[in-house]
Amino acid sequence: MNRRPLVEALQRRPVSRPPLWIMRQAGRYLPEYRQLRERHSFQEAVSTPKLAAEITLQPIRRFGMDGAVIFADIMTPIEAMGVDITFDPGPRLRPHTLKDVIALGELDSDQVGFVAETIHLVRDAIPEETAVIGFAGAPITVLAYLVEGGGTKDFLAFRSAVRMDPSAAAEALEILARATNRYLAMQIAAGADIVQLFDTWMGLLDRSTVERLAIPAARKSLAGLRVPRIYFAPGASHTLDLQPKIGADGYGVDWRIPIDEAWDRLGDVAVQGNLDPAVLLTDPDTIRREVEHLLARTAGRSGHVVNLGHGIDRNTPPEHLTALVEAVRS
């Protein structure tokens, strides 16, 4: 079996060059994705393995990324737990109290078996050296959507709820952490080589709340999973020194802090990132220059995975991603 550079880097083993994948690489900046979505809704695409696999494979065919991230959504397991969700384009649902979340109960992995089938199809279709990346939303971020009823600028209802009743918040996060762990374990059993935990809204919280609620829930979500595990919380530079308590193998870093400075604060782990997604809206010369700066800051360190500091913007020209891939591999 060929070695997978992305797995090797996350295990901090020597690689010939930094491996590369892009968050949201399977998605709406690609014309072939938009053409497919003209015929199928988002939820239909996620829940139909042949469609989800096709979307996952599109950037692998185009760019030859080192990782194929499965096309799904962080709310996928919550739907399977009985929560009615629509997407417009982000999740829209009935706002839940903390007691509502506690009452959700356990995740039945069979209800998300379509994700496992997608992983099987992708694994069979990609080169042996390409890693399959599974993922889930971190409990605190999923709780934010549940309490708020969708995405907002400040998530004030969520933030006030966890302050008013931290005990109920911890109990709700325990429910979500068990579901997340089971969901990720199912993806690994289906063939995922790596899993990433997205904690999109953790950075809205103060350090005390992060340490008391978010980090224990994230740690439980990743516990006992025997593949490299990545944790990513954008906008959370104020918590970098706390994040190693989660016990992940690698940590994503956004563009707001130099990657070498972030690495010093994270310690002896692999680090992923941290190009500004706006770089891909510039031009090929700027992209090459920014890649050179990034790689200069990580030179001599093992365990760097090239990625953006957040998901790729929908307006990114695909040829600019080609320029990024060429710059990294040159």
Q: pLDDT, tens digit, for every residue of 220-259? A: 999 999 999 999 999 999 999 999 999 999 999 999 999 9
- As assigned by CATH, the class of the 5-329 domain is alpha beta
Residue 2 pLDDT grade (very low, low, confident, very high; cuts 50, 70, 90): low
Q: How far is CA 72 from CA 25, 115, 249, 263, 328, in A?
A: 12, 8, 23, 29, 27
Task: Report the percent of the chain where pLDDT is more than 90.
Answer: 96
- What average pLDDT score do residues 144-157 get? 95
Q: Which of 33, 66, 73, 229 is catalytic?
A: 73
Q: How far is CA 205 from CA 153, 159, 178, in A?
A: 13, 7, 22
Task: Name the pTM for this structure.
Answer: 0.97
Mean pLDDT over all residues of the chain?
96
Q: Which of 28, 182, 288, 297 is catalytic?
A: 28
Rounded distance between C-alpha atoms, residue 216 and residue 306, angstroms? 27
Residue type (1 letter), 30: L
Number of alpha carbons in the 13 Å side-chain half-sphere of residue 330 = 11
219 is catalytic: no
Domain borders along the chain are 5-329
Q: Which of 12, 37, 62, 301 is catalytic?
A: 37
Q: Which of 4, 66, 123, 145 is catalytic?
A: 145
Q: Which of 4, 24, 159, 229 is catalytic?
A: 24
Contact indicator for 246, 202 with CB cutoff of 8 Å = no
Number of alpha carbons in the 13 Å side-chain half-sphere of residue 269 = 26
73 is catalytic: yes
37 is catalytic: yes
Place of tokens 């989660």: 246
